[in-house]
Amino acid sequence: MNEQNPTLLDLLNPEEQAVADYLLDHPDFFEKHAVFFSQIKIPHALPTGTTSLIERQVDILRQQNQRLERRLTELIEAGRANDGLLERLHRVGLYFLDLEHTHHEPPALEKLASILLVDAVMGAVWAKTPQQLGTFRVLEERPQSLLPDHWGAGHPYCGRMGDLLGEYLFGARHTDLRSIALIALGFPDAEVGFIALGLADPDHFRPGLGTQYLNRLGELVSVVLGMRVPA
C-alpha cells in the first residue's frame, strides 16, 4: 500500500476488498440483478437526522415496491387457492355423476368430506326431495332457532361453531370441530335444506371469507339431488 497516496482500494479491509474486486471484475452485476437496488441504502453525507430529497424519494419507491411485491404474492397465493377449490368442486361433480350412472346410491357424506378436504360433512332437509337422501338427516321443519342470522340461499354462514349448533349438526363429534360453513340447498327463494362443512381449524371458515365457491357447491348439490333445475 502507498502510505503517502493511498487509493480507495488501499483503505478497504480484506472482505471489502473481495467485494470491490468482484464488482470491478463484473461491471454488469447490477444490470443482471437490478432487484438489489431496491434493497441497498446509500446514505448521503448530511448532518445527523437530515434526509436528502433523493434519499427520501428512493425510500418511498422502495416501500412502494415492497407493497407491490406483497400484493403480487397475495394474488399468486389466492390464484393457487382458487385453482384448488375449482379442482375440488370438479371432483365433487364427477363423484355425483359416477353415483348417478353406475351406483344409483345417495351421496356418502364421508366421501364428500374427503373430496372437499374438511373434517366432517352433514346434510339435512325439511322438505320432500325427488332423490333419495339416505345419508341426509330428514327434519320435520326448518330449525329456525338454530340457524344463524342472515343465512340463506346465496348467503352461506362462515364462522366459529358454538356448542349448541355444533351438537345439533355433528353430535358428540362437534367438540373436535371449531369452524363451520353452512350452505343452503334448494331454490334461490326457498331453502329446503342445508349442507354443513366442519373443520377443526377455528379460523378456516371465518366471517368475510369469499363464498362464491360455497355457493357453487350448494347449487351443484341442489341440482344433483333434484331440488332445483339447472339454470
Region 48-54: mean pLDDT is: 62
**CATH among 3.30.1330.10, 3.30.450.40, 1.10.260.40, 3.90.1150.10 for 106-224:** 3.30.450.40
Residue found by looking up cell 424519494 in the block: 57
Percent of the chain with pLDDT over 90: 1
> What pTM value is reported for the model?
0.62
pLDDT for res 197: 92
Rounded to an integer, what distance in angstroms lies between the CA atom of residue 28 and that of residue 176?
58
Q: Who's near 217: CB < 8 A, 6+ residues apart?
A: 89, 92, 116, 183, 195
Please report, as a single letter, which amino acid is at residue 107.
P
Q: Which residue(s) pair with 197 in the sheet?
A: 121, 181
Instruction: Give the N- to C-terminal CA distance of the chain in Å, as an integer.
Output: 85
Rounded to an integer, what distance in angstroms lies between the CA atom of residue 12 and that of residue 20?
9
pLDDT for res 119: 92
Q: Who's near 111: CB < 8 A, 6+ residues apart?
A: 95
Q: What angle do CA 81, 85, 91 make, to 5 degrees?
A: 145
pLDDT for res 104: 64
pLDDT for res 53: 65
For the chain, give every domain's residue range.
9-68, 106-224
